[in-house]
Copies of this chain bind each other. A is one copy, B any other.
Amino acid sequence: MPMSDTEHEGSMSTASTSAKLRPTRSDAQRQAILDAASLLFIEKGFGGTNINDIADAVGMTRTALYYYFASKESMLEALTEEVTEKASALAKSVSGRDELPADEALRLLIQQHANLILSHPVQFRVVERSESSLPEPHRSAAQNARRAVLDHFVRVIQRGIDGGQFRRGADARIAAFSIIGMCNWSAWWFDAGRGLDAGTVAETIADFGLRMLVPDKPRRARAASVEDAVGQMREALEVFESQVKRR
């Protein structure tokens, strides 16, 4: 249902906001609706929120709102696409790159996934909480996307285990679930307003994920040079010397 320009302008909260958004007003307005809807879905639950609440929160008329979304359900669909399908596309773009060493690939996978969640924490929580309200076929699509993310993580981790970059005994599936869990859970605790930088958090989580899988003892390099061996002996001699001196 298209609306007149005047009606739209009139529904904006201030003229300056309207002016600022003009270049991509439609996209920005759509995003503003989704953001307001997310907050309300979290606060009142999907079932407890109605279209009027969302229109009020975003300062639009109900009629204007319908120009962007036909229903609450279609907002939930858009939110789900924004996080779940994006996550799957991002993971796919890395897991297929077999030329990347597995540890580099995993670091990239984790950073991308964590950054996606950290930049959409509220949307992510809405999607998780309201899955049962998502109509088909969107519900199945979301489940498939989530399974695809898992598969991409498992694939890269298994490649690292097989190639010796990761610990032999590690369970790739539990590791993938645990790493994805660390990332996803950040939606519940990360608050961009409270000092922590999203990029730093994503790097820290990636670092944790790699440490979980590092082999127990770096195997002695098969092609260690004579120089390496001499260095090792010198080191051992120093320990020997300091011990003898203590006596």
Query: Interface residues, chain A, CB within 8 Å of chain B?
Result: 42-48, 128-130, 132-133, 171, 174-175, 177-186, 188-189, 196, 201, 204-205, 208, 211-214, 220, 224-226, 228-230, 232-233, 235-237, 239-240, 243-244
Contact = CB atoms under 8 A, between A and B. Distances in A.
Copies of the polypeptide in the assembly: 2
Q: How would you classify the secondary structure of chain A's contact residues: helix, strand, loop or mixed? A: helix
A181 B186 contact: yes
Contacts of A225: 243
Contacts of A196: 174
B229 A243 contact: yes
A103 B74 CA distance: 48
Contact of A226 (B212, B230, B240): B240
A175 B186 CA distance: 11
A204 B240 contact: no
Contact of A212 (B46, B184, B212): B212
Contacts of A171: 204
A185 B178 contact: yes
A204 B174 contact: yes
Given A178-B205, A232-B235, A233-B236, 4 more contacts: A47-B48, A178-B185, A178-B208, A180-B185
Nearest to A239: B229
A172 to B, nearest CB: 11
Contacts of A46: 45, 47
